Amino acid sequence: MTTLFTNPPNSALEIAEAQRLGDVLYGEKKRRSSLGQYATPIDVARLMASLFEFRNTDVVKVLDPGMGAGVLSLATIEEFSQTKTSNARIEVTGFEIEQPAIAAAGENFLVASAEVSELNYELKNEDFLCAKDTLCGYTHSIINPPYKKLSSSDHRQAGLRELGVHAVNLYVAFVWKALLELAPGGQLVAIIPRSFANGTYYRPFRKFLRDNTRVKQVLLVDQRTSVFSADNVLQENVIISLEKNFSSTSNASNTTLSWIDGDHLSLQFERKAAAHEIWWDAENTCVLRLLKEMDADSFPTYSLEDLNLTVSTGPVVDFRSEDYLLPAKDPAAYPLLRPRHFANGRCIWPNASGKRAGGIMKREETKKFFWPVGFYVVVRRISSKEEPRRVVASVVCPSDFNTSAICFENHLNVYHIDREGFSEDLAFGLCNYLNSEVTDRFLRSISGHTQVNAGDLRLLPYPSAEQLRASAKT
């Protein structure tokens, strides 16, 4: 990995870094945010470019969509110059929607072409997602795309769908379209949020990746790092290196999984994983699983269905129920359980902390939220980053209340059977398992988010009901 500042001052790449540090590429904050404008630091750009191979070819054709000042393609040119063995040429095509950024890229490429005689380039001040006349046949693409949502009514969606691209987020649209424009065997390196790795919305993208690319390498960066934290601190980012037209389900396909320290970009841990390990539950959810240790077999093998349980998000949403909320101490109040009512695996209701109401009235309109008291297990949807484990589970017991019914607020996930509780020993056993290191390890392998949704909990493997009941007693 190249992580040091090795060039003489004022190379094109270093000028691009100075533009990032000088904050001259983009305009005011709102526009920055709407166009996902965060420039890549030079050492991250070099690390990304170092993942490319430059095989025997006369022309290396690089696509840099959303190029900003060109730091990624400039790092690719640097890597190409340092590692190429033949008389190959390098051609760069860049797309950038923002005028000051593409103007900066233009100046930087002028400097670069004086540095590297084999360089040709074309920089387009265009929307990459609308571009129809692109060169195609690129051999390499390097991308730090915008990370914004792409709504289904966005004017670019029709054109994207014609290409077969199904994207709920700009970053997926950028990577998918760039992959379509690569030549067979072409390589793509992107830094993107890890959110695509699971969840229903991103499944078409994962299936496209699984069926059309080899995942050569995934680098996971410690999320607390300063270099990646600008936009999205709760979501991990990954650097992913892909090779086109190589089905990941092929046996020959091995992926290198690398964990790197975000502050120094130094390697902490690395291992090879077979395709069947990284594409977990390939036919259904097709989750991209990034498991640190080679111990896939050490997980339990039962599903939530096998346990006859369901997990749902708590049904009470504050802003839709405002007229019915009451202080917990009001004699007419039924318990409205929120994350603050749980500590050390147990429910404490009522409690004095927090501003939000701890009670709700029973009315025709709220009846649907009322579940009979019983043994339930709840998991907080949002755990703090400092929490040692992602899953924080607690048991709700009938003896916690003097009412016949209780309600669950939307920031909790609740395990139940048809909106009723289940047996005490199963509840305590399940809670122990959810709070265990095994659950934490599995969840971190399929999700890079600190938020835990019911969908994530449905994907977990579980011990059998007998094993859970037995563990309640230990």
**Residue 134 binding ligand SAM, by CB under 6 A:** no
375 near ligand SAM, judged by CB under 6 A? no
146 touching ligand SAM, by CB under 6 A: yes
CB of 102 or CB of 431, closer to ligand SAM: 102
* Residue among 42, 75, 92, 97 that touches ligand SAM (CB under 6 A): 97
Q: Please report whether residue 103 would count as binding ligand SAM according to CB under 6 A.
A: no
One residue of 52, 54, 80, 95 binding ligand SAM per CB under 6 A: 95
**Axis crossing angle, helix 437-446 with helix 424-434, rounded to the nearest 10:** 60
Task: Indicate the residue among 40 and 439 with the shorter CB distance to ligand SAM.
Answer: 40
Size of the chain, expressed as the number of residues it contains: 474
Contact 47, 2 (CB under 8 A): yes
Determine which residue in the list 12, 13, 49, 72 makes contact with ligand SAM, applying CB under 6 A.
Answer: 72
> Per CB under 6 A, does 98 bind ligand SAM?
yes
Least separation in angstroms between CB 253 and ligand SAM: 28
51 near ligand SAM (CB under 6 A): no
Which of 12, 14, 36, 472 binds ligand SAM (CB under 6 A)? It is: 36
Q: Give yes or no for residue 160 binding ligand SAM (CB under 6 A).
A: no
* 237 is a contact residue toward ligand SAM (CB under 6 A): no
Q: Which is nearer to ligand SAM, 68 or 429 (CB)?
A: 68
Residue 460 engages ligand SAM in binding (rule: CB under 6 A): no
Question: Is residue 39 near ligand SAM by the rule CB under 6 A?
Answer: yes
How far apart are alpha carbons 70 and 66 in whole angstroms? Answer: 9
Contacts of 377 (CB under 8 A, 6+ apart): 393, 394, 395, 396, 414, 415, 427, 430, 431, 434
Contact 218, 240 (CB under 8 A): yes
40 makes contact with ligand SAM (CB under 6 A): yes
Q: 68 vs 186, which CB is nearer to ligand SAM?
A: 68
Work out how close the CB of 218 gets to ligand SAM at its nearest, in angstroms, rounded to a whole number: 19
Q: Which of 123, 129, 197, 406 binds ligand SAM (CB under 6 A)?
A: 129
* Nearer to ligand SAM (CB atom), residue 40 or residue 141: 40
Does residue number 408 form part of the binding site for ligand SAM (CB under 6 A)?
Answer: no
Contact of 444 with 371, CB cutoff 8 Å: no
Residue span binding ligand SAM (CB under 6 A) among the ranges 54-62, 92-100, 435-443, 457-465: 92-100
127 binds ligand SAM (CB under 6 A): yes
From CA 372, how far away is CA 340, in angstroms rounded? 21
Write the interaction track for ligand SAM spanning residues 430-449; mark x where CB under 6 A is met and - where it is not: --------------------
Q: Does 67 bind ligand SAM (CB under 6 A)?
A: yes
Of 169 and 258, nearer to ligand SAM (C-beta) is 169
Q: Total residues contacting ligand SAM (rule CB under 6 A)?
A: 22
Contacts of 154 (CB under 8 A, 6+ apart): none
Among the residue ranges 36-44, 107-115, 283-291, 296-304, the one whose residues contact ligand SAM (CB under 6 A): 36-44
Are 147 and 232 spatial neighbours (Cβ–Cβ below 8 Å)?
A: yes
> Which of residues 205 and 375 has its CB atom nearest to ligand SAM in the complex?
205
Please pick, from the candidates 144, 157, 213, 450, the single residue that binds ligand SAM as defined by CB under 6 A.
144
Q: Are 433 and 275 in contact (CB under 8 A)?
A: no
Query: Where on the chain is the footprint of ligand SAM (CB under 6 A)?
Result: 35-40, 66-68, 71-72, 95-98, 101, 127-129, 144-146
